[in-house]
Amino acid sequence: MTDVLKILAVQFNPVVGDINGNAKLAREALEAGARDEADLVVFSEMFILGYPPEDLVLKPSAVELSMKAVADLAKESADLPAFIIGSPWAEDGELYNSELFCRDGAIEARYDKQELPNYGVFDEQRLFTKGKSPACIVEVKGVKIGLAICEDVWFDRVPNAAKAAGAELLVIPNGSPWRRSIHTERAEAFDRWSRLGLPYLFVNQVGGQDELIFDGASYATNTVHAERCGLVGQFETGTAIVEFDLATRKLRLPDGGCELDPDGWHMEYRAAMLALGDYVNKNRFPGVVLGMSGGIDSALTAAIAVDALGPDRVWCVMMPSKYTSSDSLEDAKRCAEALGVRYDIINIAPGVGAMDEMLDELFSGKESDTTEENIQSRLRGVTLMALSNKFGHMVVTTGNKSEMAVGYATLYGDMCGGYNALKDFYKTEVFELSRWRNMNLPEGALGPSGEVIPERIITKPPSAELREDQKDEDSLPSYNDLDDILRGLVDDEADIDDILARGHDEATVRRIEHLLYIAEYKRRQAPPGVKVGGKNFGRDRRYPITNRFRDD
């Protein structure tokens, strides 16, 4: 067909630092583009090195090898479609976040990112130099294409410059991480320049990278974000052909567009599932091992792990003490059987007895307190790490955001591990996500359908079971109240007065604020976990450990 410009949008899952592997993926996509008779192939931001590269781009060899990979790819692809690919680029002592336009065996043009994000999880201003020109136009099949990179279109300066330079179509490679508000945020930002009437193609990467998860959600639209046509899908890899009509100078889209999934529990679960799976697979672990307590956090973590990796790669271990209830033993076993995982029981009572004997002389005359509780938790951590060292499985921790916020987690105990799938989910969200999973099988899940988390695990009062008849609410407010207070303190950075206006008890709010601040040293030593909300405990929130501030 000669009446259209055919563009292959590539929504792939590159691995940070795997320059050769990412270049191989690019070659495969270019060959697919040739088979589809594409005129242009578009890759995501920083595709060759992977995004976000963080301080890896401060390593000169990483940048040099990335640049060489692009040059080699261009040379080797002389008989393949033209393409746009992202890479770091060094020139005259400056380092840029760039995209390269390659055709006929050569790099014909380079666009350097203008808007360098420096908020939340982003830190680009300390790494890259801002591009010198907001407009870069390349021409393919008579169509003038303006180039932009991710953050460039969250403001209107670059789109305005592209339009003024004659662009008929805007192509936007992205490394835009997912969070539960992302569709709304993108719509509000991109609609600021919809008045330009400029058709555009949004190509985003997909997959997990440490605490970030990328949803893909690549789409095409002729001007309005609300009428976007989803191309590959969300949390999926793949390619899609987009056609630009040479007569109408518009993208050819189905009537009414192609809807992307709205945010909801299904998206949050898939985000956690893909993030954990990619962390395990990209770091080449054979599987995961976790402590199965009979509680809701470990049950949901096990379900996510099974859905991400398959039951044969998940190992659940119940480690009872004298305080473990028969209900917990039954519930843990039932959950493991429902998920189809390997399940073992290792009694920590002998280890607790050995520790009691070791410390008896020094602890003589002292009342039992959290010290003895923490010994149990730490013995479980030591046990799981021993299994990890011996068999190679990565330990997955199971704490939620509520616990991490107020320090109700044991350093070198239940915090011990390599990744935490629930790190950014408050306890009330853990309950909701568990109920949702029992009623739904997520797309792409490798686990079974049906009730995988026994109902009693969801309905019984939460307890760490580290002392007789212990309940979480013995020392914390109800999770409904606690989570609302924490959303104010953490997500909203609200003042105490604003939180009190919601109807909370002042003494409780001030106590929770105090617990939040004094637990910072624990969170600094916690494993990474997927970001799903507006502000996670990680790069989003960087509070000092030594900190006497209280909102008085």
d(CA 92, CA 88): 14
Tell whether 294 is in a known binding site.
yes
Is 124 considered catalytic here? no
β-pairing verdict for 40-42 and 82-91 = parallel
Tell whether 176 is in a known binding site.
yes
Tell whether 374 is in a known binding site.
yes
Sign of CA dihedral 149, 151, 153, 159: negative
Residue 96 has phi, psi (to 5 degrees) of -125, 150
d(CA 444, CA 446): 7
Tell whether 292 is in a known binding site.
yes
Among 102, 136, 150, 416, which one carries the catalytic annotation?
A: 150
Among 6, 45, 99, 282, which one carries the catalytic annotation?
A: 45
d(CA 406, CA 399): 12
Tell whether 385 is in a known binding site.
no
Tell whether 218 is in a known binding site.
no
d(CA 209, CA 213): 6
Residue type, 101: F
Is 102 considered catalytic here? no
49: left (phi over 0), alpha (psi -120 to 50) or beta: alpha
Q: Buried (b) or exposed (e) across 324-358, using 16+ Cβ within 10 A?
A: beeebeebbbbbbebbebebeebebeebbeebeee
Tell whether 296 is in a known binding site.
yes
Tell whether 269 is in a known binding site.
no
Tell whether 146 is in a known binding site.
no
- CA angle 247–251–256, rounded 5-degree value: 125
83: left (phi over 0), alpha (psi -120 to 50) or beta: beta
Is 335 considered catalytic here? no
Query: DSSP alpha helices (H): ranges in 283-369?
Result: 296-309, 326-339, 349-363
Among 6, 99, 102, 113, which one carries the catalytic annotation?
A: 113
Tell whether 233 is in a known binding site.
no
| Angstrom distances, CA of residue 519 to CA of 281, 382, 408, 543, 552 | 31, 22, 9, 11, 19
Name, in order, each residue with C-beta under 8 angstroms of 306's C-beta and a sequence gap of 6 or more. 314, 339, 340, 341, 446, 447, 452
Tell whether 295 is in a known binding site.
yes
Tell whether 403 is in a known binding site.
yes
Tell whether 239 is in a known binding site.
no
Tell whether 236 is in a known binding site.
no
Residues placed in the known binding site for L-glutamine: 119, 176
| Active-site residue set | 45, 113, 150
Residues placed in the known binding site for deamido-NAD(+): 374, 403, 522
Residues placed in the known binding site for ATP: 291-298, 398
Residues placed in the known binding site: 119, 176, 291-298, 374, 398, 403, 522
